[in-house]
Structure 1
């Protein structure tokens, strides 16, 4: 558990911001040469950094986003949602090459497939100022791809006295990188899902995978969706079951889980309570389309 003073209790969340086009009400995924019609669609601000930040802000945590955003019409629409979220945007850089960044999500039951376009580099010109933010106590890195582009990010955060969490996030070009764990040195809290943990460790057994990852990180949380979640620290493993809730869209559920767990962890809660908080946030997120769509009972 970590405790922090009231003067340094804010979170800095870094990563790419996307315009998510989320198609729901599908019985199956599209196939080549055929048109498929969805009964529902949502256009939402996305990206793990923003989704996690929005849920933390909703829980009452002061949180700022460090990111780049484009100047095109889609980016402008996304920015309107960013402003409504309660997230501090002082470290958001506007740049022509930063957009549009788009993710198309096709949701089938409790699973989904993504098609994404990235734009420009991940490094915001505001990073130095963000790391100097006197209210921040913690840095959340929403995807390993961001750390891959900014390899000294963890060490720079540590020099400023920040604790660091990292969600590796699925990226087929990076998740199998044998140097991934070494590149993540210094991360305090590692937050993969089952598929990512298997790619990194080679084990599909969650208990084996989390034990392997615990050799590299002080605190590991493994997100299993309908299987619940595991946490391991100092050789002690805990599991908490998932909640049974109606599922509309699982996009961003893992990032919402991250927000709940990190918020409770920074409050000094027990690991069991942190797990429960993460599962509660994730469960609420899947009940609405769009990862940052918030329900008033998230606290």
Structure 2
């Protein structure tokens, strides 16, 4: 599944997505609700959202640039400091001389998590001219929408021969939504999780959801949490189990999975190899706060041996 390197860019991957400053509360006695004063047993803050994707790619040794806008507020400054400490390339950072706060409070349980979030404004997407200048081999988009700005960006990437990957992130679309089929046909790799895929298709079975989406998108990879992942690519179907790990915090696991899959696209000979790396990244992400327990490239062989022994 190795991607052609004809573009000759500084970046193999261009990650497009916002940062969030995640406040993570663990060990809550119940889900937060009105009139309840809950005390967490543990707390941590971590950079989140597309930061997790950029971090995973940096640790895997992928040449990745992160297109993200930051302000002059304390949250932006702390995320930038962490990114530089982790050797995340900052060549595509956009800096504004005003606050641009994006904060999420996550209440984390072993089986799932929820968020209360605040963002002052959405990130501007790159323009077609930016893509023409940067020329990544792969464009990895956080989130999904049908607005004209995103459609123009995706079409420009396709015209330049750039592979487009996108996740879904709980948007309220159905396959019957006008424009959804056309957008899926423009995307090369679609990366929803199982609940998103079932909600999008109206199917209650993840394999039927996979088949339904694969009618429109060449490669579909569905993240199935503790059950690993399933995928369909040009008629080839594949299932890879998750690693056996102790779940600590699921925040950021999907973003880390996406990074692992894209790294696999660039380096693995086939679909299964790419999914194996994605599953390793997603599985290890849940063993610490906010995806911080991510592997480095040198660690992959060890975890692939462990997976083969299952």
Report the TM-score, using the length of structure 2 for normalisation.
0.87
Which among 38, 43, 46 is matched to residue 44 of structure 1?
46
Deviates more, 1:89-98 or 1:100-109: 89-98
Match in the other structure for 2:120: 119
Determine the C-alpha separation between the residues in 2 that align with 1:44 and 1:175: 33
Higher helix share: 2
Determine the C-alpha separation between the residues in 2 that align with 1:105 and 1:204: 27
Match in the other structure for 1:193: 193
Deviations along 1:103-160, one digit per CA (max 9) or x if unpaired, are 11110112101111222132157874355214x2110001114967533111122233
Q: Secondary structure at the match of 1:150?
A: helix
1:215 to 2:215 alignment: yes
Deviates more, 1:277-286 or 1:234-243: 234-243
RMSD: 2.3
Shift in CA distance, 145/43, structure 1 to aligned 2, threshold 3 Å: farther
Match in the other structure for 1:81: 82
1:143-182 alignment runs, 5 A limit: 143-145=143-145, 150-172=150-172, 178=177, 179-182=179-182
2:253 touches 2:290 (CA, 8 Å); kept in 1?
A: no
Match in the other structure for 1:20: 22
Report the TM-score, using the length of structure 1 for normalisation.
0.90
Match in the other structure for 1:137: 137
CA positional deviation for 1:274: 1.4
Shift in CA distance, 124/270, structure 1 to aligned 2, threshold 3 Å: closer
Determine the C-alpha separation between the residues in 1 that align with 2:274 and 2:137: 18
Determine the C-alpha separation between the residues in 2 that align with 1:125 and 1:270: 30
Deviates more, 1:80-89 or 1:211-220: 80-89
1:53-64 alignment runs, 5 A limit: 53-64=54-65
Shift in CA distance, 119/160, structure 1 to aligned 2, threshold 3 Å: farther
1:19 touches 1:74 (CA, 8 Å); kept in 2?
A: yes
Match in the other structure for 1:65: 66
2:3 touches 2:137 (CA, 8 Å); kept in 1?
A: no
Q: Secondary structure at the match of 1:290?
A: helix
CA positional deviation for 1:211: 0.4
